[in-house]
Amino acid sequence: SRPFVTVDAGVLAHADAEWLLFGREPSAGLSRTGLVERANGGTLFLDGIAAASDVLLTRLAALVEKREVWP
């Protein structure tokens, strides 16, 4: 009954991958929930994580370590 969000390699390789995963800051004028937040309390499955940029991989590692999401 908990959310199961699948993210494929195509999303991770996209130029806007950070916005898609982490959402946008409300002050940007486009308040948007990211896929990580949508999986809250459930599972976030990252398929093909090797397609992600080094910057995105670093941010995902910080997410796992701190267990906090910041747009």
Reported as a single tens digit per residue, the pLDDT across 53-64 is 898 899 889 988
DSSP string computed for the chain: ---EEEE-HHHHHSTTHHHHHH-B-GGGT--B--HHHHTTTSEEEETTGGGS-HHHHHHHHHHHHH-----
Question: Does residue 30 carry a pLDDT above 70?
Answer: no
Q: Do residues 35 and 20 touch, judged by C-beta distance below 8 A?
A: yes
The confidence score (pLDDT) of residue 3 equals 93
Question: Does residue 32 carry a pLDDT above 80?
Answer: no
pTM of the model: 0.74
